[in-house]
């Protein structure tokens, strides 16, 4: 690629060869949350076993820049009727190009095609590029008394790992609310 030339970006389901490269993307993206999350959380990466399991079930997408992964979205089936967006990361060197948005849209489209009308997630309530980003994509805050037991377990695990529960929020996007 010539100097100053932008790579060609593609969003696709992850390939087995992508998996070992995703930890670096996850660590690079975590740098954006320095000061918002504890170092222990920022140092975490998704295990290869979890990534492979997600890939096998069609719940792992990558953003490729000229065939190399620079972002990914990892989803889980936590409860009937909804796919949970566990992680979305984009290498900051490739940020601000719509890759995160395209990854989230891929998850939502796939969930709907598979018969899951809703996608859920948890994110930071007060980080400017977290909750507002998801609101722009049609996600809505789930009121505390409406958070499902499965999402409560996710939020409790986040608290156990050191994330401040007052700064976290559960959200969902359902096909009938778009």
CATH value at residue 87: 3.40.630.30
Q: How far apart, in whole angstroms, are the C-alpha atoms of residue 2 and residue 66?
A: 13
| Residue 6, pLDDT above cutoff 90 | no
Domain count, the chain: 1
Give dist(CA 170, CA 151) in Å, integer. Answer: 7
114 has pLDDT over 60: yes
CB atoms inside a 10 Å sphere around CB 118: 19
Q: Average model confidence (pLDDT) for the chain?
A: 95
Residue 110: domain span: 9-177
pLDDT at 135 over 90: yes
Please report whether residue 3 resides in a domain: no
Give the model's pLDDT for residue 3.
63
Indicate whether 5 pLDDT > 80. Answer: no
Does residue 125 form part of some domain? yes
The answer as to whether 2 is a domain residue is no
114 in Cβ contact with 74 (< 8 Å): no
Mean pLDDT of 30-51: 96
CA distance 167 to 37: 10
* Assigned domain for 157 exists: yes
Q: Is residue 1 part of a domain?
A: no
Can you give the pTM of this predicted structure? 0.94
User: Which H helix or E strand runs over 154?
Assistant: helix 149-160
Question: Phi first, then psi: what are they for 141, rounded to 5°?
Answer: -65, 135
Pairwise pLDDT comparison (156 vs 175), residue with the higher score: 156
- Any domain includes 4: no
> Could you tell me if residue 95 is inside a domain?
yes
**β-bridge pairing 118-124 and 140-141:** unpaired
pLDDT of residue 2: 54
Q: Is residue 156 part of a domain?
A: yes
């Amino acid at each position: 690629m010539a100097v100053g030339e932008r790579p060609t970006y593609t969003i696709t389901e992850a390939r087995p060869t992508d998996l070992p490269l995703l930890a670096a993307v996850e660590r690079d993206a975590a740098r954006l949350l320095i000061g918002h999350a504890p170092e222990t959380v920022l140092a975490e990466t998704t295990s290869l076993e979890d990534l492979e399991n997600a890939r096998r079930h069609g719940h792992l997408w990558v953003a490729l820049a000229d065939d190399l992964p620079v972002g990914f979205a990892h989803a889980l089936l936590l409860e009937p009727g909804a796919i949970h967006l566990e992680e979305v990361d984009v290498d900051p060197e490739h940020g601000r190009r719509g890759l995160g948005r395209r990854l989230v849209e891929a998850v939502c489209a796939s969930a709907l095609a598979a018969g899951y009308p809703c996608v859920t997630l948890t994110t930071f309530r007060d980080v400017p590029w977290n909750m507002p980003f998801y609101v722009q994509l049609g996600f809505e805050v789930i009121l505390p008394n409406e958070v499902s037991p499965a999402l409560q377990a996710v939020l409790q695990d986040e608290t156990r790992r050191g994330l401040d529960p007052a700064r976290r929020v559960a959200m969902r996007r359902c096909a009938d609310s778009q």
